[in-house]
Amino acid sequence: MIGVLLLVGILVAMFVGFNVGGSTTGPAFGPAVGADALSKSSAAALMTAFFFVGAWTLGRRVVDTLGRELVYDPSIFTLEASIGVLFFIGLALFVGNVFGVPASTSMTAVGAIAGLGFARNELNWAVMGEIATWWIVAPVIGFWVSLIIGRYFYARLHRIIAMERSDGALVELDRSGAVPVPTPEESTNRKELFGVVTVIAIGCLMAFSSGTSNIANAIAPLVGSDVIEMNPAILLGCLAVGIGAFTIARRTLETMGSDITELPLTAAIVVATVSATLVIFLSAIGIPASFVVIATMSIVGLGWGRATRPVSVPDVVRGEEDVPVSVGGLAADEDRDEVPAIGEEEPEDIPSAGDLFDPGTTARVILMQNLVPLVGTVGAFLTFRYVPIFGF
């Protein structure tokens, strides 16, 4: 009987890992894919590799602590309870992926574990309160930082970076030596190449951060119940994440990279930098990072900032308010001499939020990102409190 339950537990854990790959690849590499810096397959490969590195190094620490700090008595993670927790995590994430919305893996996992702890009166409310507080504060910080950048600094950043994509490949292989060496194409702009490398590197950093925290969401209940060793569990979880990244993540990549807003490379770098910085900060203080929500709110904040008045700080200091206005909002700014002063624009020349991101898609994303963890939390609580098989 234990063998059958263990097999079921492993399959459910891999189902969770599959959905982790589907829900976290979009926030990590959506900006790069939306900016045409990566193909979806390349994004999936990088996600798998760097997720594994993060899981194998720092991830094992999170696996050790997730099932001990959030509940007072870790013994509540019986094999049956672990399967139940993993089931609700996987089910909730699967719902988000079906709708093409990258749901928060950490919020969903913590919610399901909290449902178990609450049902057994073992939930550590102090730890839960601290986690929940940061989940509210961090996306707000991401939104406002991105909004300020979009409103006051984006135009100057874009002029400095100037990374409009050229046609054709960025690099070619120089096969003149013994080992082929990638070199920039003659038509490749050096700043463009730098921007592409930067946004991909930030995506890899986010994938690494995802591995350090999200591997625990898939395997911590099983490892905590002592039914499977740490290393085999990490390998199984990463394999499942890779499968999800190459399959169901294609929809979340489209949502994060193009459906919410068309991101040029400058905007992609801003969003990824703000999101990655906040994720690293949260990980450093031991908070499960909800970088899905942070990345989404950063995109919305940047788009909203560009939809208002794109004034740069140096322009305000000098009193020069003849700033570029572009219906493309996040696109390159036009020459300053061709733009009317504030108050003299025609109404049709002023960009609205709808020109920069789709409000309908944004509302769907935010709704699902809050609904999916709620489904996992409520479902876990009701099951562990009232279903007799769990002995409650």
Return all residues near 137 (Cβ < 8 A) that are at least 6 apart.
Answer: none
Contact 21, 242 (CB under 8 A): yes
Helix and strand tally (H, E) in the chain? 15, 2
Q: What pLDDT, on a 0 to 100 scale, did the predictor assign at position 243?
A: 95
Q: Cβ contacts of residue 277 below 8 Å, gap of 6+? A: none
CB 301 within 8 A of CB 261: no
- Contact between residue 258 and residue 36 where contact means Cβ atoms under 8 Å apart: no
What span, in angstroms and rounded, lies between the C-alpha atoms of 165 and 153? 21
- Asked whether the beta carbons of 384 and 81 are under 8 A apart, the reply is yes
Write the DSSP string, 159-221: HHH--PPPSS-SEEEE-SSSS-EEEE-TT--HHHHHHHHHHHHHHHHHHHHHHHHHHHHHHHH
pLDDT at site 323: 42
The angle at the Cα of 359, spanning 353 to 365, to the nearest 5 degrees, equals: 135
Token digits for 159? 């002029």
Beta-strand relationship, 181-184 and 171-174: antiparallel
Token pair for 185: 């194409």
Could you read off the pLDDT tens digit of each residue along the chain, which spans 392 residues?
557 888 888 888 898 889 888 878 887 787 678 767 788 899 999 999 999 999 998 888 778 777 778 888 877 888 888 888 888 877 777 776 677 666 677 788 888 888 888 888 888 898 889 888 988 899 999 999 999 998 888 888 877 765 555 555 555 656 676 766 666 666 556 666 777 788 788 889 889 888 888 888 888 888 877 788 889 999 999 999 999 999 988 776 766 555 544 556 677 778 878 887 887 787 777 777 777 678 778 888 888 888 775 454 555 555 444 444 333 444 444 434 343 333 333 444 334 444 445 666 666 666 777 777 887 788 888 888 887 665 54
Confidence at residue 47, expressed as pLDDT on a 0 to 100 scale: 95
Which of the 8 DSSP states describes residue 152? I
Please choose, from the candidates 346, 347, 319, 323, the residue with its C-alpha nearest in 3D space to the C-alpha of residue 334.
323
Q: Which tokens in the block code for residue 287?
A: 């908070």
Q: Which of 336, 332, 171 is nearest to 262 (CA)?
A: 332
CA–CA separation, 112 and 84 (whole Å): 9
Distance CA 256, CA 228 (A): 35
Give CA–CA dist 367/380, Å, rounded.
20
Tokens 């193909």 correspond to 39
What whole-number distance in Å separates Cα of residue 268 and Cα of residue 32?
A: 6
List, for residues 206-246, the tens digit of each pLDDT value: 898 888 888 888 888 888 777 888 899 999 999 999 999 99
Dump pLDDT digits (tens) for 55-112: 998 888 778 777 778 888 877 888 888 888 888 877 777 776 677 666 677 788 888 8
Q: Which is it for the CA torsion 89, 136, 50, 167, positive or negative?
A: positive
Q: Which of 55, 143, 135, 142 is nearest to 377 (CA)?
A: 135
CB of 119 closer than 8 Å to CB of 113? no
Sequence-distant (6+) residues with CB within 8 A of 364 are 99, 101
DSSP result, 234-286: HHHHHHHHHHHHHTTHHHHHHIIIIIS----HHHHHHHHHHHHHHHHHHHHTT
How far apart are the C-alpha atoms of 117 and 392, rounded to whole Å? Answer: 12
User: What amino acid occupies position 287?
Assistant: I
Burial group, residue 309, by CB count within 10 angstroms (0-12, 13-18, 19+): middle
Q: How many residues does the chain have?
A: 392
